[in-house]
Amino acid sequence: MNPLNGYDYEDLQLGMSESFVKTITETDIELFATASGDNNAVHLDEEFAKTTPFGGRVAHGMLTASVISAAIASRLPGPGSIYLGQNLRFKAPVRPGETVQVTVTVTDLHPEKQRVALSTVCTVQDRVVIEGDALILPTSAKRRKQ
């Protein structure tokens, strides 16, 4: 582990997995709209959203995806990780008040550059809402000693 209590590259093994859970509230959606600049009415206006194919307000897909960032930064590999890439496939909407579980699992280790690939799956109850994978540069005990 590194001094921030995150995993070093040397600690990681194929199949290691961690989860992070967050409830997406109406307030979270409003904060995200301000932070991102995405004020689309399908996220913010229930009366309008009822007229769309979603039938009501939904969270921004990128807000749900942002919980992946929290899972990586706080759980696996944890603090000190540098985010290099993320692929996202949006499968189903998330509604205000729903609880997203993000599960990140080590799927590949690249020793030459000390990078790790993770599968990143977001579910609400048993429904997959986002599938994807991440590429991360964790901290490294070896680099710290150089």
Give residues in contact with a copy of itself (CB under 8 A): 4, 20, 22, 28-29, 31-32, 34-41, 52-53, 60-63, 65-70, 73-74, 79-80, 82-90
Amino acid letter, 31: L
Q: How far is the CB of 123 from a copy of itself (least distance, A)?
A: 16
DSSP H stretches of helix in 17-133: 26-36, 41-44, 46-49, 61-74
Q: How far is CA 135 from CA 51, 72, 109, in A?
A: 38, 10, 10
Q: How far is the CB of 25 from a copy of itself (least distance, A)?
A: 9
Q: How far is the CB of 28 from a copy of itself (least distance, A)?
A: 4
Closest to a copy of itself by CB, 15 or 79: 79
Q: How far is CA 9 from CA 18, 21, 95, 105, in A?
A: 16, 24, 36, 14
Closest to a copy of itself by CB, 31 or 128: 31
Q: How far is the CB of 48 from a copy of itself (least distance, A)?
A: 9
3-class secondary structure, 16: coil
CA atoms within 13 A on the CB side of 132: 21
